[in-house]
Structure 1
Amino acid sequence: MPSAGWSWNLLTDLQEMWAFPFMVNAFRAGTIVAIAAAVMGWFMVLRRQTFAGHTLAVVGFPGAAGATLIGVSATYGYFAFCVAAALVIAAVPRAGRDAGGGESALTGTIQAFLLVCGFLFTALYKGLLGGVTSMLFGSFLGITTTQVWVLLVVAVAVLGVLAVIGRPLLFASVDPDVAAGRGVPVRLLSTLFLILLGAAAAGASQITGTLLVFALLVMPAATAQVLTARPILSLSLSVALALVVTWLGLIIAYYSPYPIGFYVSTFAFAGFVFARLGRLIADRLPRLAPTGVPA
């Protein structure tokens, strides 16, 4: 980490940061994760499955801790546990708009049990485990080129599958009953979506940490859907917001001793608050307009 702070010359600051290979990898990984998380998060918010997304992010912690315990890369633990949890959650039938009770109960049970398992794995590990804070709250230090390639392959696969099922998934997300009546395989789409969401959560957890992965999965998507109801525009805006908060988080964290997850979450939360305030003001403006004017 550099000893000097901001030079107030953005070009110089960027050149200084990108002179370090770990920062180049951090920006590459952050960009990949932001795009994948924003797209998956947009569908997750639309489908009202944010609790499932939170659980899939949290179980990345026991996955990473368990992988470290048995001596393999934590990356494999993230993906193994997140995808496995997605399959378990997908086993609960989800039919209709108000049938999420069973899914929520199972999701909370999985989250509580696996979170405790994560702390057990860290207690059983006899070596020096200094990455607990990074697992929980994120870190851009130590991101290797191999990890970047793994994240890229996973993101391309996730977004590729989502592009294939995107239209029927959107239909099933907006009105699952009508979609099922039209012959759309709602249950299969729900299972595929949860698997893709698990993979996206596993990737985002390696940047923001398992406890703050919601910063990329939920906040940009929720902000975008507050600002506009048009699917294409809202989805594009979600990606743009995720990229901005990730890049800003990396830049600020480079000059700070605090974890990147804090900054990404703070910027994303601020964007959501301003979007809600702007929507509230916009909704109240017609009421303040003079009456008696023809529509």
Structure 2
Amino acid sequence: MLTLSFMRHAFVASTFIAVISGIIGVFVVARNLSFLTHTLSEIGFAGGAFAVFAGWSALNGMILFTMLSSVIVGQMSIKESRREAVISAVSALFIGMGILFLSLSSQSASSATSILFGSVVGISLNEVWQLVYLSILVLIVLLLMYRRLKFDSFDVIGARVSGINGTVISVIFLLLLALSVSVAAQIVGSLLIFILLTLPAASAKYFTHGVAKMIVLAILFALLGTWLGLFLGYLTDWPVSFFIAVIEVVIYVTAITYGKFVEAN
């Protein structure tokens, strides 16, 4: 399997995507931003469709759209009372824009399929390097702001008392989330992006409560889903994103069951 260049590219790309998703996902869950991940997936779809229309790579279009809109959408939907309305309005707008761009494009329907459901086995070496560079950038920024981000995510009141600027932390994190959505969409597609950015982290919290341990577990769960998904996709020729979704859901259900068992005892 690894003698094939496209499979080697896929495993390298999926490894970096899983690491980024596992780390970012812990803070997404802690900050209750799963809703924003879902919204950014629709924005990413529109960005990818625009890229196809403009003749760019899908990743560049996704980055452009998600980066420009992440902070605005995040601030608009920060109040829980209007969160659902904002999600519905933004999702509808960007899905419509994505469909428009695809209809105006001269590309085939396979372009839409790859944007919506991912096409990791078709990633070129140049795209792999682009993913690696972006992943390293996200990791460096996360490392630099890790203590403040952890404090602000898990102890908001304490962070404010300590003088941590929550607005700055939130803006930087939203930009990192936008980059992560764009990167992770390459393997699971824009429709299923919230799987890697929420389920591994949501599963990890049932097994441990330490932030560092949660991050490690979330990364392991994401790696298990992507690696096993690639392997099963290679054996069956079925969509990789399907297997990733099933594996991560199985892990999550197992985690919930384990959590209930621990509570009962």
Please give the TM-score of this superposition, normalised by the length of structure 1: 0.86
RMSD: 1.6
Measured in 2, the distance between the counterparts of 1:175 and 1:100 equals 19
Q: How far did residue 102 of structure 1 move?
A: 4.4
1:181 to 149, 154, 161: 161
1:83 aligns with 2:98: no
Q: Any idea what the Cα deviations from partners look like across 1:235-290, whole Å, max 9, x if unmatched?
A: 111111111110000000112232111100100000010111011011112xxxxx
Measured in 2, the distance between the counterparts of 1:128 and 1:214 equals 26
Superposed counterparts of 1:19-38, under 5 Å: 19-38=3-22
1:115 aligns with 2:99: no
Match of 2:34 in 1: 50
1:199 to 176, 179, 183: 179
Measured in 2, the distance between the counterparts of 1:246 and 1:69 equals 29
Measured in 2, the distance between the counterparts of 1:38 and 1:26 equals 18
Maintained 8 Å contact 1:139/1:209: yes
Measured in 1, the distance between the counterparts of 2:14 and 2:81 equals 34
Larger radius of gyration: 1
Match of 1:153 in 2: 133
Measured in 1, the distance between the counterparts of 2:94 and 2:44 equals 9
Q: Any idea what the Cα deviations from partners look like across 1:35-57, whole Å, max 9, x if unmatched?
A: 00111011000111100011112
> Number of paired residues?
265
Q: How far did residue 105 of structure 1 move?
A: 3.8
1:40 to 18, 24, 27: 24
2:144 to 160, 164, 173: 164
Please give the TM-score of this superposition, normalised by the length of structure 2: 0.95
Match of 2:120 in 1: 140
Which AA in structure 2 matches 1:186?
Answer: G
Measured in 2, the distance between the counterparts of 1:216 and 1:144 equals 22
Percent of aligned positions with the same letter in both sequences? 32
Q: How far did residue 91 of structure 1 move?
A: 3.8
Report SS of the residue matched to 1:172: helix
Q: Any idea what the Cα deviations from partners look like across 1:9-31, whole Å, max 9, x if unmatched?
A: xxxxxxxx111111110001000
More helix by share: 2
Unaligned segments of structure 1, at least 5 residues:
1-16, 286-295
Maintained 8 Å contact 1:52/1:104: no
Report SS of the residue matched to 1:227: coil
Q: How far did residue 108 of structure 1 move?
A: 3.5
Measured in 2, the distance between the counterparts of 1:224 and 1:112 equals 32
225-234 or 106-115: bigger deviation = 106-115
Which AA in structure 2 matches 1:253?
Answer: G
